[in-house]
A and B are shown apart, each in its own frame.
Chain A
Amino acid sequence: MKTAAVLVFCAALSSAGERILTAGRTSSAGALEPNSADWKSAPAVSFALQRTPLLYATDAPAALEIDSVQVQLLRGEGASFLRLEWTDKTQESFSLQPARSKRQPEQLVEQTPATNRFSDAVAVMVPKSPPADGVFPSLQMGDESHPVVLYYVDTTRGAAVMEASGRSTTKRTGQSFPAKSVYRNGRWTVTLQIPSLPSGMPLAVAVWNGTQQDRDGRKGFSVWYRTN
């Protein structure tokens, strides 16, 4: 029943008035630099974020600490670039030693530094294929008829491509993509280089705030925006 209520809630949001993200143009891969001059040609659109409803009985409610993300889109040759910028009072991004598959007998194990912290992260969700029937996928990771692709950037562990066709179906494809993340003066700026987004392709954003123990469906999310 709760799941149904969430779906209705999301559907209502996604069918609200048309929201547009207008793209700029770039001719170089330099757009991956957060401070590249290329971004001056792309208008920034503020995506309002909502907190997801509590999905687990074990969850504590979370305040809307991050209420919006500034999103910019550039179209280049064979690729699209996204620049996402948001205010976050605390940086939850960690430097971790890689776990070794083989260790010399005299070497000490690398220690797990912490067990109860979570990384800041962001993801861009797009339909796996342009919505020919005009129906946007469910904001809860799409559905069987409308699968989605997620470009996920964990500020600790890096970028990963995921796919989903409904809640709890998210899985990593094993692929990655170029991304950069910078935290400065209380703001995150993350840039992504992803496959070309055709004009009219919808796009939604989610932000995980590590200090609020965000992960999985515990996050801030936007509704769909149509790119042009």
Chain B
Amino acid sequence: MSIHQISMVLDLNKCLGCQTCTMACKKLWTDGDGMDYMYWNNVETRPGQGYPRNWDKMGGGFEDGRLRPSELPTKLDYGQAFEYNYEDRLYKGGLQAQPHEETQNGPNWDEDVGALMLGENYYFYLPRLCNHCTNPACLAACPRSAIYKREEDGIVLIDQERCEGYRYCMRACPYKKIYFNELLGKAQKCIFCYPRIEKGEVNACARQCPGRLRFVGYLDDPASAVHKLVNVYKVALGLFPEKGTEPNVFYVPPFNPPRRGNYGKSILEDPRMPMDYLLYLFGEDVIDVIRRLEAELLKAQSGGTSEVLQLLIGRDASVRYQIPKHEDLIQIQGMKKS
């Protein structure tokens, strides 16, 4: 258990699916050899296969306090890194630019496909990163004690010196957010931009997000937006709570208007997407969250002020991020994560 817990809240109603966060992370952390297929931050279309494909059905996490079995994702599950015949196309002409091999899967393979409900298409974007869980299954599974959770901020890291590339962590992570660099023989993962966080700077994925959907701060800091959204307003939930790892990345679930407009039916009575799907992703608390958000929406529509919605607008960085420098962390006092 860490003393403080850094956390991120992502408002899925604002995600554009532009992958700017993905590229910000890729350029900063995963452009080295053996990291070609790694997207520590990715954005996937939901419903959809995800990245790696079908990660949500592979297993991992805990069941009755014990690690649940899981498959190990293959390289193809993550998707190919395509190269194109640009030189041929540009200098020889007459050819169509083509990938160098047959394309079978990619990290954003089914972008914008979604699914149908009552003949109408629906989908939303789900940005994902390591959840820096309170009860990390990766840490529990590592026989080398190479994975540790930092006391000062709860960031989960892999000691690259101790890691032997056994990949028990990859199997144990129910979110499949640990990757294997075969050239180095090491497991690698999102580090929550800890060198930036230590200096009071927000993560690269959040800093670059044009949709302003990411909120970052300490869950135990009563003044932080993440604390308010998760613990006070209770409008943000972790993915797959039943996996037992207690994720510290939270999502404001999509709460689109009722499917057929305002005919007196609520979002829950006439949803634009099957509530079963949101229940699958976020657990049964999602119904109460939708109710709360709808109530806030009605309050604003009837001329009142909704603190929650004002906060979710996230007008500027000072509203979205409250990240004291590490040397100032001692100043954060108050409640523990509930």
User: Do A and B share a complex?
Assistant: yes
Could you tell me which A residues sit within 8 Å of B by CB distance? 55-58, 60, 96-100, 103, 108-116, 157, 167-168, 170-171, 213, 215-217
Q: Is the CB of B183 within 8 A of A97?
A: yes
Minimum C-beta distance from B158 to chain A (A) = 15
Within 8 A of A (CB), among B33-84: 33-37, 66-70, 72-75, 78, 81, 83
Minimum C-beta distance from B310 to chain A (A) = 44
CB contacts (< 8 Å) of A57 on chain B: these are: 66-69
CB contacts (< 8 Å) of A167 on chain B: these are: 143
Minimum C-beta distance from A164 to chain B (A) = 11
Q: Is the CB of A116 within 8 A of B181?
A: no
**CA distance in complex: A115, B180 (Å):** 6
Q: Is the CB of A99 within 8 A of B166?
A: no
Q: Is the CB of B166 within 8 A of A216?
A: yes
Q: With an 8 A cutoff between CB atoms, is B113 at the interface? A: no
Could you tell me which B residues sit within 8 Å of A by CB distance? 31-37, 66-70, 72-75, 78, 81, 83, 141, 143-145, 162, 164-168, 170-172, 179-185
When C-beta atoms are compared, the residue in chain B nearest to A213 turns out to be B72
CB contacts (< 8 Å) of B165 on chain A: these are: 215
**CA distance in complex: A114, B83 (Å):** 17
Q: Is the CB of A99 within 8 A of B34?
A: yes
Residue pairs across A and B with CB atoms within 8 Å: the count is 95
CB contacts (< 8 Å) of A116 on chain B: these are: 72-75, 167
CB contacts (< 8 Å) of A215 on chain B: these are: 164-167
**CA distance in complex: A112, B185 (Å):** 10
CB contacts (< 8 Å) of B143 on chain A: these are: 55-56, 167-168, 216-217
Q: Is the CB of A112 within 8 A of B70?
A: no
When C-beta atoms are compared, the residue in chain B nearest to A111 turns out to be B36
Minimum C-beta distance from A173 to chain B (A) = 13
Q: Is the CB of A168 within 8 A of B144?
A: yes
Give the residue of A96, A100, A103, A111 whose beta carbon is less than 8 angstroms from that of B81. A111
30 interchain pairs (CB within 8 A)? A58-B68, A58-B141, A58-B172, A99-B34, A100-B33, A108-B83, A109-B31, A109-B32, A109-B34, A109-B35, A110-B34, A111-B34, A111-B37, A112-B36, A112-B75, A112-B181, A112-B183, A114-B182, A115-B72, A115-B73, A115-B78, A115-B170, A115-B179, A115-B182, A157-B185, A167-B143, A168-B143, A170-B144, A213-B72, A216-B164
Query: A-B pairs with the 7 shortest C-beta distances?
Result: A99-B33, A99-B183, A110-B33, A116-B72, A112-B182, A111-B36, A112-B34
When C-beta atoms are compared, the residue in chain A nearest to B74 turns out to be A116
Task: Given A56-B168, A108-B83, A109-B31, output 13 extra A-B contacts at Cβ < 8 Å.
Answer: A56-B143, A57-B68, A57-B69, A96-B183, A103-B32, A110-B36, A112-B75, A112-B182, A115-B179, A116-B75, A213-B72, A215-B167, A216-B164
Give the residue of A58, A170, A213 whose beta carbon is less than 8 angstroms from that of B69. A58
**CA distance in complex: A180, B164 (Å):** 21
Q: Is the CB of A115 within 8 A of B75?
A: yes
CB contacts (< 8 Å) of A55 on chain B: these are: 143
CB contacts (< 8 Å) of A97 on chain B: these are: 33, 183
**CA distance in complex: A139, B257 (Å):** 64
Q: Which of B33, B36, B74, B143 has the most CB of A within 10 A?
A: B33
**CA distance in complex: A110, B81 (Å):** 11
**CA distance in complex: A120, B41 (Å):** 33
Q: Is the CB of A96 within 8 A of B182?
A: yes
CB contacts (< 8 Å) of B35 on chain A: these are: 109, 112
**CA distance in complex: A127, B165 (Å):** 26
**CA distance in complex: A168, B147 (Å):** 13
When C-beta atoms are compared, the residue in chain A nearest to B181 turns out to be A112
**CA distance in complex: A99, B31 (Å):** 12
Minimum C-beta distance from B78 to chain A (A) = 7
CB contacts (< 8 Å) of B72 on chain A: these are: 115-116, 213
Q: Which of A60, A100, A114, A116 has the most CB of B within 10 A?
A: A116
Q: Is the CB of A56 within 8 A of B141?
A: yes
Q: Is the CB of A110 within 8 A of B70?
A: no
When C-beta atoms are compared, the residue in chain A nearest to B73 turns out to be A115
**CA distance in complex: A103, B162 (Å):** 25
Q: Is the CB of A58 within 8 A of B70?
A: yes
CB contacts (< 8 Å) of A213 on chain B: these are: 72
Q: Is the CB of B184 within 8 A of A99?
A: yes
When C-beta atoms are compared, the residue in chain B nearest to A162 turns out to be B164
**CA distance in complex: A171, B164 (Å):** 9
Minimum C-beta distance from B333 to chain A (A) = 37
Minimum C-beta distance from A4 to chain B (A) = 17
CB contacts (< 8 Å) of A58 on chain B: these are: 67-70, 141, 168, 171-172
Q: Which of A97, A110, A111 has the most CB of B within 10 A?
A: A111
CB contacts (< 8 Å) of B67 on chain A: these are: 56-58
CB contacts (< 8 Å) of B170 on chain A: these are: 115
**CA distance in complex: A27, B48 (Å):** 66
CB contacts (< 8 Å) of B183 on chain A: these are: 96-99, 110, 112
CB contacts (< 8 Å) of A100 on chain B: these are: 33
When C-beta atoms are compared, the residue in chain A nearest to B71 turns out to be A116
**CA distance in complex: A170, B35 (Å):** 27
Q: Is the CB of B181 within 8 A of A99?
A: yes
CB contacts (< 8 Å) of B141 on chain A: these are: 56, 58
